[in-house]
Structure 1
C-alpha cells in the first residue's frame, strides 16, 4: 500500500463510526507514524475538524504529538465559533426570504448545520451558503438580498445564463457569501434530480427550511460526481463520505436503489463501500469493482496522479472552453477583449 493509499485508509478509519480504537492506537503508537500526511490530506479534504472531533470521541487525541493536538483543537474551536455565527446568518437570511414569501430550501453545509445532525457542529466546515429558490422567484430573491446588505457580487467575467446559480452575493457585515441556485446540477445531468420533489420534501428546523435527508444526500452525491467531476477523475471526498454516514445514507434503501440507477451513483457507492464499513451491506457489481480499481490506480500509482490526471484535466478544460466559444457570444467577446488588453 502506497503512502497516499495508507493516509486515505487512516483518515477513513478515524472518521468511521464503528469501534476501531484498538487498531488505530496501534497505528498511532508507531514512532514513525506520519502525522504530516494526515494533516495535509485532511486539510485538502476539508475534514480536519471532523478528524479532531472523531479522535476526541474515540479517546485517541493523547496519541498525537502535543503541538499537533493543540493545533487541531485550535482550528476546531475556530470552526465551531464560525458555525455558530453562520447559523445566525442562515436564520437571518431565512427570515428575510420567509417574510417575502420566497419559496426556498437551504442546501449542503447550511442545511446540515441547520439540521443539527452532528454531535458537534464544529465537525463540518462550510464555505458559501447555498440556497435553492424557485426559478420564477430567484431574481426576486437576488434583488431582495442585495437590498438587505448583500450588495457586492462575484461571478463570471462573461454572461453564463445557463449556470446553476447566480453570482455570489456578499455582505461586508456577514461571514459567508450566498449562492442562489435555480438548478442543482449542470447540463446534461439536470434531470437526475427533480426540483419539485426537492421542494416537496422540505422540512422546517428552527424556522430554517431544508430538504429531507434523502435529497440532502442525493444532491451532494450526484453534484460531487457531476458538477465537481468526481466521477470523471475517480476522485473522492471524505467530507461527503462523512456527511453521508452522519445522515445514515447507507441504510436508506430508497436512496441506495436510486443511486444504483446511474453510473454516478454506483461510482460513489463503490468508493464509499471500499473505505467505510458502514456501506458494507451495499451490493457490488462488476462496474463498481472496475470503478474502485480505477480509483485505486489514481491513489496508488504516481503515473496516474502525475500524468493521466493532469492530462484529463487539460482535456476537460479545453473541451469546456471550446464549447463556450461555440455557444456563448458573451464569452467570445470576453476572449477578444482579453486579447486586446494583452496587445496593449
Structure 2
C-alpha cells in the first residue's frame, strides 16, 4: 500500500460514521493484513487523529480485528487523551474564573472550544495542543498579568511591544495540562478585517453546560478553521491538508447546516477548494458536481503530488520555505532603515541566538 493509498484509506475509516457501508471495505483490508500498521500509526499521530480513529473503529466493531499490540496502543493513547482533556476543561474553568473576577470574558478558540462545545461525541475524540482564547484588546495585557499572578509563566523572551503580536507568547503553569495563548486578535492582521473581536462577539455564545464560557459561532469556527489551516499555517501554499482540521470542519459544517458566508472575497476561491478537498478526502459525497474544477486546481494537484512523491514533497517544501524566509528577511532589512522600533527589536534579538528562527513568523 502506497502512502497515497494509505492516506485515502484513513479517510475511508473516518467516513464510516456517515458512510456505514464503508465498514466492510475497512474490515476486509484489516483482516487480509494489507495495511502497513507502522505507517498507519505514524500518519495518524502526525495528523493528531489517533483517538478519533480508535473510537471510530470501536463504534463500528473493527477494534477486535486489529493486531493485539496495535489495539492496546490505540486504546492507551485514547485513554490518556481523555484524561488530559478532562484536565484541560478544568484548566479552562480556572482561567475563566480568574479573568471574570476582573470582568474579562475569554472567548475560547479552536480545539479547546470544541471540547466544551460538544462538537465530538465524547471528549476523548479530539487531541488538543494548547488553550487559545481571545480577549478585548484593552484587556490583553491585563489578562497576561492576572494569569501571571496565579502562576502562569512565559515560555520565551518577549521581544518588542507585545501589543504588536497576534497573541502573547505561550505561557505555562506547573502541573497545568496545556500551555495557553492569550490572543489580542484571533488571526493575523491581514485577515483580521473580516474575523476580529467585534465580528466574533456579535455571534458568540455559551455552550450547553458551560454558562460562564464563550465560544465562536459555528460559522466563525468554520472561517477560523480555514484561516488557521490554509492561510496562517501555509496549508494552501504547501498543498497540505490536516485530517484533524478537516474532520473538525466536517462536524462544524454538519452542525451549521447551511452555506458559509463571511469569507473575504479575495480568499473565497481558496476556501472553496479547501471545503471541496475536505469533502473529497472524507467521502462526503460523490463530487459529481465539482470533481473537474477540484482536480484542475493547483492546490489539489500539489496535495496529490505531496502524497505520491516524497522527493517532490521535500524539494517543493524546501523551495517554498526558502522563498518565505527570503521574503521575511527582505521585509526586515527594509524595515530596519525606516523604523527605529524594528531596529531595536532586531538588536534585542541579536543578543539571543535563537532569534533567527523566529524571522519567518514576523
The two structures have a TM-score, normalised by structure 1, of 0.90
Is 2:230 aligned against 1:225? Answer: yes
- Deviations 1:109-128 (CA, angstroms, capped at 9, x unpaired): 11000112211211111111
Aligned residues: 338
1:167 is aligned to 169
Distance 1:202 1:29, change over 3 A: same
Deviation of residue 156 (structure 1)?
5.4
SS of corresponding position for 1:166: coil
SS of the equivalent of 1:190 reads: coil
Name the counterpart of 1:12.
Answer: 11
- 2:303 maps to 1:304: no
SS at match of 2:132: strand
CA distance in 1, matches of 2:204, 2:262: 21
Residues 134-283 of structure 1 aligned to structure 2 (within 5 Å): 134-150=136-152, 152-155=153-156, 158-159=159-160, 161=162, 162-205=164-207, 206-207=210-211, 208-249=213-254, 252-255=257-260, 258=263, 262-278=268-284
Q: CA deviation at 1:305?
A: 0.7
> Which runs of 5 or more structure 2 residues have no equivalent in the other structure?
336-341, 354-362
Contact 1:103 1:137 in 2 (8 A): no
- SS of structure 1 residue aligned to 2:181: strand
Alignment of 1:80-99 (within 5 A): 80-99=82-101
Please state how far the C-alpha of 1:148 moved relative to its aligned partner: 1.6
Among 317, 326, 331, the residue aligned to 1:318: 326
TM-score by length of 2: 0.86
What SS is found at the alignment partner of 1:203? Answer: coil
Instruction: Give the match for residue 3 of structure 1.
Output: 2
**Equivalent residue number for residue 294 of structure 1:** 302
Q: Which SS does the other structure have where 1:106 is aligned?
A: strand
Shift of residue 331, structure 1, vs aligned partner? 4.3
Structure 1: 5+ residue stretches without partners: 340-344
Classify 1:119/1:233 alpha carbon distance in 2 versus 1 (closer, same or farther; 3 Å).
same
d(CA) in 2 for partners of 1:282, 1:241: 20
Q: CA RMSD in A?
A: 2.5
State which of 25, 28, 31 in structure 2 corresponds to 1:29. Answer: 31
The whole-number CA distance in structure 2 between the counterparts of 1:197 and 1:278 is 30
Worse-matched range after superposition: 247-256 or 126-135: 247-256
Q: Among 61, 64, 73, which residue is 1:62 paired with?
A: 64
| Structure 1 match to 2:357 | none
